[in-house]
């Protein structure tokens, strides 16, 4: 009589996932021990609905936590929410059709918080659906008074160390966000635009021709520059030209920065067209003419063009130059322009006072820290090194916005700027404070800090720097920083910089850098393209295990992961396959290990050993592509179709060796898959072995032995093909000779295929 399986449902029910999640909540609370393996979890930003890319990204960070726990480590996987900065302000402005600068500040902050709370509910629900083993009891939020107090404490500490200073210098200005932004917050967009060749007259009969994409900045030109080796212009160096329209003389000089290959080889040096202009104005001591306003309009210095938007001014000036006969030619070219990575507005370069954090002095330190940090994958280290090498100015850290940690600075008319004592949360824009020297009222700064000033101290927050020395000693440096490759230049770089400035040590032992989640055609998911996939829909249809597994199995770490419903549906078939195998094995009571195993049993244990070794090696590199595919191939290509079918007869007959081997392999497979597929593995393990799989240690491989594994599988496939060709069912008897090399497996093969010699 065939025994009843302990897994009574014939199909895996994804509804069990919620039940398993509730049972597993205790596993992820803050651990104790001499050394705590802390994951500096990327605090997600709740400024919109959480899409599938974020869900898959965070599920892989969860795999890191689950794997290390199963390696016996005391893992803390904290939950943080990033709630400061421009993204939420932009969302509120869009949702409410308002402008922050035209609304009462307190009212605007209230709207930001309400919107954050709404979107936070969504991301928390997605995290739960995905089975995240976070510490749900101790979440932190970067807009809390406690977190902002720590951010301000780091500012005050660095101020006292003379690493923060104020300066009035040209910076990247986003007209849409109405604030200064750092170089790390800039993207470059390729656009088509006119390259205008303009005649700049030296005298009535002589001129130099200049090609420019920004003729609207002619009025801010202070020099004409040519390369020293450019023979075309050697006789003109030192002469003066008259600026078209503005009738102002400027000098022609020779300088290495001029590019003889671009346009005519002669260029305007204006305040400010790009970073090269900024550098040259500083180097050559030129007096800037501020032609562009913070609203990206022409200023009064532009004369009759004042008040025009940049594009309107460009078109108007080109037309006037045409009428004056000063345009030699216009061609449309592709060129890159800097844009704000949040608003996507074109960047202008405008001078105004901002607070700066020194970073140029620390590039060598960051390079040394990178050498001490283990990167996953190894090549991703170069992303950091490339950015670090490109740092050529200090970090502007103040922002002219509202929803963020306030700059903790006050201004006394007699004694200048000062900072209060650390340890409490300050809102200088709300109220004045008495000067600590003279006692007179000091006005508070109205600006906030760059949001990366908050998020870059997440490693210090989770390690309790300056708040709990005992915990800090056990948890720092942080074990791993997991994050996407797109924010290496911001979150990773700034975290390393700030942590080193405050502790003198590297922040992390490991840096895990993932690729992007893209659609099936390799395109970035966006609302405008209509290719966003929402995780709730797919989890409802296929279960979180399928989504997590496909995210892991699709691509090597660091590569972009292509996702589609079809791919996830395929992963759901593997979840069901694993359940089917488990259900079959659940028919047989777990037996003690027998004194002797059958050669077939030894063969599958040897195959299992190879799978364990390769899977653990992949896990240790934090590359889940390796274990996902190794285990899938083992289960689908070897264990289920070959070994399981070969020992069915023995198992039904109660053979202890077959039953013990089946359970041993299943236990190992469930444990190996648990970090990737936490639900079905835990459900089966609890039903069959009365414990949570997540409390088990990763399996250790037995010694590999030599077996003709490929010959076994080839023979089985030959038999199946022969029966199919003869119109027989797989159960029908067939006369076929077993190769001599498979003599040790003859008994199992005969029963499996119903063979007769």
Residue-range domains of the chain with CATH: 1-30+564-703 (1.10.730.10), 33-139+452-514 (3.40.50.620), 183-340 (3.90.740.10), 708-757 (no CATH)
173 DSSP β-pair partners? 180, 348
* Beta-carbon count within 10 A of 28 CB: 23
The helix (run of H) or strand (run of E) holding residue 499 is helix 493-503
CA dist 710 → 382, 494, 642 (Å): 41, 52, 11
- Cis check: omega of the bond before 659, within 30 degrees of 0: no
3-state secondary structure 727-742: CCCCCCCEECCCCHHH
DSSP secondary structure code for residue 297 in this structure: B
Angle at 704 between CA 703 and CA 705, to 5 degrees: 115
Backbone phi, then psi, for 318, in 5-degree steps? -60, -45
- Per-residue pLDDT reduced to its tens digit, 291-341: 999 888 999 999 999 999 999 999 999 999 999 999 999 999 988 888 987
Take residue 475 and report the two structure tokens written for it. 């948890």
Yes or no: say if 452 and 184 are a contact pair by the CB < 8 Å rule: yes
- Name the nearest CA neighbour of 130 among 536, 674, 544: 544
- Name the nearest CA neighbour of 182 among 424, 564, 450: 450
Question: How many Å apart are CA 520 and CA 526, to the nearest integer?
Answer: 13
Question: How many Å apart are CA 687 and CA 139, to the nearest integer?
Answer: 32
How confident is the model at residue 179, as a pLDDT?
86
Question: How many Å apart are CA 324 and CA 345, to the nearest integer?
Answer: 32
Question: How many Å apart are CA 584 and CA 662, to the nearest integer?
Answer: 10
DSSP secondary structure code for residue 255 in this structure: -
Question: How many Å apart are CA 19 and CA 14, to the nearest integer?
Answer: 10
Lateral strand order in the sheet of 221-226: 240-242, 249-254, 221-226, 267-270
pLDDT beneath 70: ranges in the chain: 1, 26-28, 757
Question: How many Å apart are CA 36 and CA 480, to the nearest integer?
Answer: 11
* Beta-carbon count within 10 A of 34 CB: 7
The DSSP annotation for 451-464 comes to HHHHHTTHHHHHTT
- Name the nearest CA neighbour of 403 among 720, 91, 751, 3: 91
Yes or no: say if 507 and 70 are a contact pair by the CB < 8 Å rule: no
Question: How many Å apart are CA 38 and CA 482, to the nearest integer?
Answer: 11
Query: How remote is the C-alpha of 757 from its chain's centroid?
Result: 61
How confident is the model at residue 99, as a pLDDT?
87
510 DSSP β-pair partners? 374, 480
Strand spans (E) along 101-155: 135-141
Crossing angle between the packed helical segments 544-553 and 565-585, to the nearest 10 degrees:
110
How confident is the model at residue 615, as a pLDDT?
98
Contacts of 551 (CB under 8 A, 6+ apart): 56, 59, 60, 517, 561, 563
For residues 286, 289, 290, 292, the Cα torsion angle rounded to the nearest 10 degrees is: -110
Angle at 198 between CA 194 and CA 202, to 5 degrees: 165
Query: Sign of the C-alpha dihedral, residues 217, 218, 221, 227?
Result: positive
For residues 457, 463, 469, 474, the Cα torsion angle rounded to the nearest 10 degrees is: -150
Query: How remote is the C-alpha of 241 from its chain's centroid?
Result: 50
614 DSSP β-pair partners? none
The helix (run of H) or strand (run of E) holding residue 478 is strand 478-484
Yes or no: say if 394 and 358 are a contact pair by the CB < 8 Å rule: yes
| Intra-chain end-to-end CA distance of the chain, in Å | 29
Question: How many Å apart are CA 428 and CA 448, to the nearest integer?
Answer: 10
Angle at 332 between CA 326 and CA 335, to 5 degrees: 110
* Beta-carbon count within 10 A of 414 CB: 9
How confident is the model at residue 105, as a pLDDT?
95
Question: How many Å apart are CA 24 and CA 680, to the nearest integer?
Answer: 13
DSSP secondary structure code for residue 420 in this structure: -
How confident is the model at residue 397, as a pLDDT?
96
- Per-residue pLDDT reduced to its tens digit, 93-138: 989 999 888 899 999 999 999 999 999 999 999 999 999 999 999 8
The number of helix segments (H) and strand segments (E) in the chain equals 23, 28
Question: How many Å apart are CA 747 and CA 650, to the nearest integer?
Answer: 10
Backbone phi, then psi, for 38, in 5-degree steps? -95, 135
Q: What are the helix (H) ranges across 621-738?
A: 625-633, 644-652, 656-673, 678-689, 709-725
- Name the nearest CA neighbour of 77 among 43, 38, 48, 115: 38
């Amino acid at each position: 009589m065939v025994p009843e399986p302990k897994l009574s449902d014939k199909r895996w029910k994804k509804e069990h996932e919620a039940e398993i999640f509730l049972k597993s909540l205790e596993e992820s609370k803050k651990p104790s021990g001499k050394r705590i393996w802390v994951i500096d979890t990327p605090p997600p930003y709740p400024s919109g609905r959480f899409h599938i890319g974020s869900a898959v990204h965070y599920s892989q960070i969860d795999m890191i936590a689950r794997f290390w726990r199963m390696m016996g480590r005391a893992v803390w996987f904290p939950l943080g929410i990033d709630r400061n900065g421009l993204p939420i302000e932009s969302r509120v402005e869009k949702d409410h059709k308002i402008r922050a600068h035209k609304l009462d500040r307190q009212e605007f902050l209230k709207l930001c918080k309400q919107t954050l709370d709404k979107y936070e509910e969504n991301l928390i629900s997605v995290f739960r659906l995905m089975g995240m083993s976070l510490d749900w009891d101790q979440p932190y939020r970067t807009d809390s008074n406690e977190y902002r107090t720590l951010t301000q404490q780091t500012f005050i500490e660095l101020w006292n160390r003379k690493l923060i200073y104020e300066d009035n210098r040209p910076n990247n200005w986003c007209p849409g966000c109405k604030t200064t932004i750092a170089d790390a917050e800039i993207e470059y967009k390729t656009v088509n635009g006119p390259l205008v060749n303009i005649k700049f007259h030296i005298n009535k009969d002589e001129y130099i021709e200049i090609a420019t994409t920004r003729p609207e900045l002619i009025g801010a030109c202070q020099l004409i520059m040519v390369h020293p080796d450019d023979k075309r212009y050697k006789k003109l160096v030192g002469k003066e030209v008259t600026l078209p329209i503005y009738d102002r003389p400027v000098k022609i000089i020779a300088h290495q920065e001029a590019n003889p290959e671009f346009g005519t080889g002669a260029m305007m040096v204006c305040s400010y067209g790009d970073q090269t202009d900024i550098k040259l104005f500083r180097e050559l001591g030129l007096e800037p003419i501020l032609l562009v306003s913070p609203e990206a309009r022409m200023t009064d210095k532009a004369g009759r063009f004042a008040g025009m938007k940049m594009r309107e001014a460009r078109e108007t000036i080109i037309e006037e130059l045409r009428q004056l006969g000063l345009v030699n030619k216009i061609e449309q070219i592709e060129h890159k322009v800097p844009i704000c990575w949040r608003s996507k507005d074109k960047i202008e370069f405008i001078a105004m006072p901002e607070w700066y954090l020194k970073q140029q002095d620390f590039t060598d330190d960051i390079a040394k820290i990178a050498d001490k940090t283990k990167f996953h994958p190894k090549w991703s280290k170069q992303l950091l090194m490339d950015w670090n090498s490109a740092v050529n100015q200090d970090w502007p850290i103040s922002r002219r916005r509202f929803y963020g940690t306030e700059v903790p600075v006050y201004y006394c008319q007699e004694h200048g700027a000062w900072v209060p004592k650390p340890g409490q949360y300050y809102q200088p824009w709300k109220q004045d404070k008495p000067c600590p020297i003279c006692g007179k009222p000091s006005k508070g700064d109205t600006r906030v800090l760059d949001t990366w000033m908050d998020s870059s101290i997440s490693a210090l927050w989770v390690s309790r720097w300056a708040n709990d020395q005992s915990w800090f000693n056990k948890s720092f440096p942080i074990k791993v920083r997991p994050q996407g490759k797109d924010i290496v230049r911001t979150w990773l770089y700034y975290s390393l910089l700030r942590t080193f400035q405050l502790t003198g040590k590297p922040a992390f032992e490991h840096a895990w850098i993932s690729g992007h989640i893209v659609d099936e055609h390799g395109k970035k998911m966006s609302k405008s393209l209509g290719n966003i996939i929402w995780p709730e829909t797919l989890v409802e249809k296929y279960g979180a295990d399928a989504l997590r597994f496909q995210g892991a199995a699709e691509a090597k770490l660091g590569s972009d992961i292509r996702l589609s419903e079809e791919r996830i549906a395929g992963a759901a078939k593997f979840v069901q396959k694993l359940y089917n195998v488990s259900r079959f094995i659940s028919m047989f009571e777990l037996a003690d290990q027998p004194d002797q195993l059958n050669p077939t049993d030894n063969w599958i244990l040897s195959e299992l050993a190879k799978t364990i070794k390769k899977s653990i090696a992949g896990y240790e590199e934090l590359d889940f592509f390796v274990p996902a595919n190794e285990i899938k191939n083992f289960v689908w290509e070897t264990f289920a179709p070959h070994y399981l079918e070969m020992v069915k007869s023995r198992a039904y007959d109660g053979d202890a060796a077959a039953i013990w081997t089946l359970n041993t392999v299943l236990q190992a497979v469930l444990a190996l898959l648990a970090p990737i597929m936490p639900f079905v593995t835990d459900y089966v393990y609890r039903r069959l072995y009365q414990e949570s799989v997540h409390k088990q240690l990763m399996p250790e491989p037995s010694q590999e032995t030599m077996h003709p594994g490929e010959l076994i599988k080839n023979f089985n496939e030959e038999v199946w093909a022969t029966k199919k060709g003869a119109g027989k069912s797989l159960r029908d008897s067939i006369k076929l000779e077993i190769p001599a090399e498979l003599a040790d497996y003859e008994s199992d093969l005969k029963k499996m295929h119903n063979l007769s010699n």
